[in-house]
Amino acid sequence: MNLLAIVWDVSPEVFAFPDWLPLLGGRGVRWYGALFAASFIVGYMIMQRLFRREKIGDKVLDQLSTYMIVATVVGARLGHCLFYEPAYYLANPIEILKVWEGGLASHGAAIAIIIALYFFARKQQKPLIWILDRIVIVVALAGFFIRMGNLMNSEIFGYVTNLPWGFQFVRSHDPELRSDPRHPTQIYEGLWYLATFVFLYWAYFKKSMGERQPGFIFAVFLINIFGSRFFIEFLKEPQVGFEASMTLNMGQWLSIPFVLAGIYLWYWGWKKAKKA
């Protein structure tokens, strides 16, 4: 027994509405939803600073926010349904719409965001890499908020550990996983995402990186976010049953193409900057 383990017994709800309220009675505001919403609010304020620095109006930012919100929610939901539980959701397609029941995948969100930004860039007559180099700064920060939401939900944690910072997730949905301290992989990922955000934000304002080498910020984002995801997955409990028999789980297989794309993009940008 690890006597130094941290007992994590935090309610996933920020607060609950009183039972007598119509429609809302018995329901509550959950930390995950609040942090998810906060990621868009804080992200908007950061992008507003970046755009005003480049003398781009708030109207363009409002349009970008719409693209991002729709792409994130739709992509993350479809990603979970099609990557992790395709048989169930294809047999019960109406269940795909029940986003409030949980089930979002960051890889699906990443794919949908890139597609949405392609159309946004065309509409604004800007290179796609231009908007990607900016939007991923706040996406990295959003990743931090979302992983903290996972922590508050007592979900997506790691294997049993004897390390002193192991968390005993007593509110886990699986009773068999509640008794032993486990790697708080939500915190591992969240802190790495936060550190990535700080570096990307700094790189944006440093001309030698943010402007002279197109794609540098986006490349660092891909390598750091999905590279860390690949390695931290080795510490995680399987999210779905079929992953238990896999050498690399679904999250790792989906991360590999993003890391390779980041390495290629960094090399492409480096060569382009060298010729300039």
- Per-residue confidence at 18, pLDDT binned at 50, 70, 90? confident
What are the pLDDT digits (tens) for 110-147? Answer: 999 999 999 999 999 999 999 999 999 999 999 999 99
Tell me the pTM.
0.88
Asked if pLDDT for residue 25 goes beyond 80, the answer is no
Give residue 268's pLDDT.
83
- CA 168/CA 153 separation, integer angstroms: 13
Q: How far is CA 1 from the centre of its chain?
A: 33
- CA 113/CA 210 separation, integer angstroms: 21
Asked if pLDDT for residue 217 goes beyond 70, the answer is yes
Asked if pLDDT for residue 262 goes beyond 60, the answer is yes
Give residue 26's pLDDT.
67
What are the pLDDT digits (tens) for 70-86? Answer: 999 999 999 999 988 88
Asked if pLDDT for residue 13 goes beyond 70, the answer is yes
Give residue 212's pLDDT.
65
